Structure 1
Amino acid sequence: MARLTKLQQLQNSAPASGSTAKTLGMVDDFIGYLRGECHLANNTIIAYRRDLDRFSEWAGTRRMKNLTIRELSNYVSRLHDSGLAPASISRNVVAVRMFFKYLQLEGIVVDNPVELLATQKAWQRMPKVLTHRQVEAFLEAPRKSDSFWQRDRAMLEVLYASGCRASETCSLRLHDLSLEERYLQCEGKGGKQRMVPIGTRAIAAIHQYLEELRPMLADRGPERSNVLFLSRTGRPLERIQLWRLVKQYAKRANIQSGISPHSLRHSFATHLLAGGADLRQVQEMLGHASIQTTQIYTHVDHSRLKKVHQQYHPRS
Structure 2
Amino acid sequence: MSDGALIDRFLEMMAAERGASRNTLAAYRRDLDQAAEWITGGLADADVAALRKLMADYQSLAASSAARKLSALRQFFAFLLDEGERADNPALDIARPATQRPLPRILTHEDVERLFAQAVEEAAGEVPPAAAVRMLLLLELLYGSGLRASELVSLPRRAMAGGREFLIVRGKGDKERLVPLSGRARDVLDRWTPLLADGSPWLFPSGKAHISRVRLFQMLRGLAGRAGIDPAAISPHVLRHAFATHLLEGGADLRALQLMLGHADIATTEIYTHVDSRRLVELVNKRHPLAHMDAGRTAPDVDVATPSA
Report the TM-score when normalising by structure 1. 0.61
Asked whether the 8 Å contact 1:90–1:119 carries over to 2, the reply is: yes
Corresponding residue of 2:114: 137
Identify if the C-alpha distance between structure 1 residues 98 and 180 changes in structure 2 by more than 3 Å, giving closer, same or farther. Answer: same
Asked whether the 8 Å contact 1:182–1:197 carries over to 2, the reply is: yes
Q: Quick one: percent identity of the two aligned structures?
A: 32
Q: Deviations over 1:80-139 (max 9, x none)?
A: xxxx97966544542443345446767949xxxx9xxx9854513x32221122112212
Larger Rg: 2
Distance 1:249 1:129 in 2: 17
Report the TM-score when normalising by structure 2. 0.62
One-letter amino acid of the counterpart of residue 277, structure 2: L
One-letter amino acid of the counterpart of residue 183, structure 2: T
Distance 1:54 1:278 in 2: 46
Query: Structure 1: which 5+ residue stretches go unaligned?
Result: 1-27, 58-78, 310-316
Query: Structure 2: which 5+ residue stretches go unaligned?
Result: 12-25, 84-91, 282-309
Corresponding residue of 2:135: 152
Give the deviation of 1:208 after TM superposition: 1.4
Residues 1-316 of structure 1: matches in 2 within 5 Å? 32-33=6-7, 39-40=29-30, 43=34, 53=48, 89-102=63-76, 108=82, 121=99, 123-124=101-102, 126-142=103-119, 143=122, 144=124, 146-178=129-161, 180-211=163-194, 213-214=195-196, 218-219=197-198, 224-231=199-206, 235-258=209-232, 259-298=234-273, 301-302=274-275, 304-305=276-277
Give the deviation of 1:264 after TM superposition: 0.9
Asked whether the 8 Å contact 2:164–2:186 carries over to 1, the reply is: no
SS at match of 1:184: strand
Identify if the C-alpha distance between structure 1 residues 238 and 295 changes in structure 2 by more than 3 Å, giving closer, same or farther. Answer: same
Distance 1:278 1:308 in 2: 16
One-letter amino acid of the counterpart of residue 141, structure 1: Q
Q: Deviations over 1:241-288 (max 9, x none)?
A: 211110111111222222111111111111122222222222221112
Identify if the C-alpha distance between structure 1 residues 276 and 34 changes in structure 2 by more than 3 Å, giving closer, same or farther. Answer: farther
Give the deviation of 1:305 after TM superposition: 3.5
Q: Deviations over 1:42-75 (max 9, x none)?
A: 54556897x9937988xxxxxxxxxxxxxxxxxx
One-letter amino acid of the counterpart of residue 248, structure 1: G
Corresponding pairs, count: 238
Asked whether the 8 Å contact 2:10–2:79 carries over to 1, the reply is: no
One-letter amino acid of the counterpart of residue 251, structure 1: G
SS at match of 1:196: strand
Corresponding residue of 1:20: none
Distance 2:81 2:107 in 1: 44
One-letter amino acid of the counterpart of residue 104, structure 2: P
Q: Deviations over 1:158-208 (max 9, x none)?
A: 111111111111111111112625110111122111111121111111111
SS at match of 2:178: strand
Give the deviation of 1:240 after TM superposition: 2.0
Identify if the C-alpha distance between structure 1 residues 134 and 167 changes in structure 2 by more than 3 Å, giving closer, same or farther. Answer: same
Asked whether the 8 Å contact 1:86–1:120 carries over to 2, the reply is: no
